[in-house]
Amino acid sequence: MRITIFGATGLLGKALVREWKDDEVTGFASADGDIRDEKQVSNLVQHARPDWIVLAAAYTDVDGCESNRDLAFDVNCRGAVNVARAAKQHGSRLLFLSTDYVFDGTKTTPYETNDPRSPSSVYGHSKAEAEVRLAEILPGCCIVRTSWLFGPGGKCFPDTILKLAETRPELEVVGDQHGSPTYSIDLARAIIQLCRQGASGIVHATNLGDCSWYEFAREIIAAAGLKTVVRETTSDKFVRPAKRPKYSVLSPESLQKHGIAMPHWRDALKRYLLQRT
């Protein structure tokens, strides 16, 4: 197959480029083509003629989106629409990366793919609207929602915690937001399988299991063999511009229907920390 990745320089994009073997893969950075520019996108797709486009490009600064609403919608929604139109025009399949932040987090059991969207941040709104528009333009597209990405080659939570632990004997981390940490390498492998199967519709793809950021931080410190004390705190003590869901665990059922099982996040974290040393 011929594969085109938009967002190839991002955390997930790098993992996709690294993991995707036996197919012809072309990756684009924003400098190669800005997805906000319909003509540029169409030209790139026309030239590459991919069987599949993986759209991992996004404006992912969740707090930045709150103060840059237009930019968030331009990139995450209108940019995604440009890619979907180009895919339709040139006969490519599309896999779009979306987020657990399309949900408000008021549930206490894992979100299923057919749960109604209820975003509570600008970022979540921009991705939720993109999901709706893309399914209108390309009803056969595949929308992969994921969460709490970590991995090599980008800014991620384990790196932040380990960096802080270098200079601080104690860390405070919020314990009232629950989700599923997801290793970019494991997600890339799941995406490759989904494309090879010709998947369509909404799929939830995260590492198995869930935790709070506090539990995640404790596990990072323990796995790295550090003595740093991690204390639990609450979101109201760490007020940030964007509201985060309290609970955004995504059910693995849709992925399992494709015969794909992602490892537990603890296993994924160990592998990430090993490759980091």
Q: Does 36 bind ligand NAP (CB under 6 A)?
A: yes
Q: Does 72 bind ligand NAP (CB under 6 A)?
A: no
Q: Does 57 bind ligand NAP (CB under 6 A)?
A: yes
* Smallest gap from residue 80 Cβ to ligand NAP (A): 9
Cα–Cα nearest to 9, from 39, 38, 35: 35
Whether the CB-CB separation of 229 and 170 falls below 8 Å is answered with yes
Whether the CB-CB separation of 149 and 187 falls below 8 Å is answered with yes
**Closest CB to ligand NAP among residues 189, 228:** 189
Q: Does 138 bind ligand NAP (CB under 6 A)?
A: no
Q: Which residue is nearest to ligand NAP (CB)?
A: 10
Which of 1, 29, 48, 164 contacts ligand NAP by CB under 6 A? 29
Cα–Cα nearest to 250, from 206, 212, 202: 206
Size of the site for ligand NAP (CB under 6 A): 28
Could you tell me where the beta strands, DSSP code E, fall in 33-100? 52-55, 93-99
d(CA 182, CA 208): 8
* Smallest gap from residue 267 Cβ to ligand NAP (A): 19
Q: Does 149 bind ligand NAP (CB under 6 A)?
A: yes
| Cα 62 to chain centroid, rounded | 12
**What is the chain's alpha carbon radius of gyration, rounded to the nearest angstrom?**
18
Catalytic site residue 101? Answer: no
Binding residues for ligand NAP (CB under 6 A): 6-13, 29-31, 34-36, 56-60, 75, 79, 97, 99, 146-149, 154
**Catalytic center residues:** 123
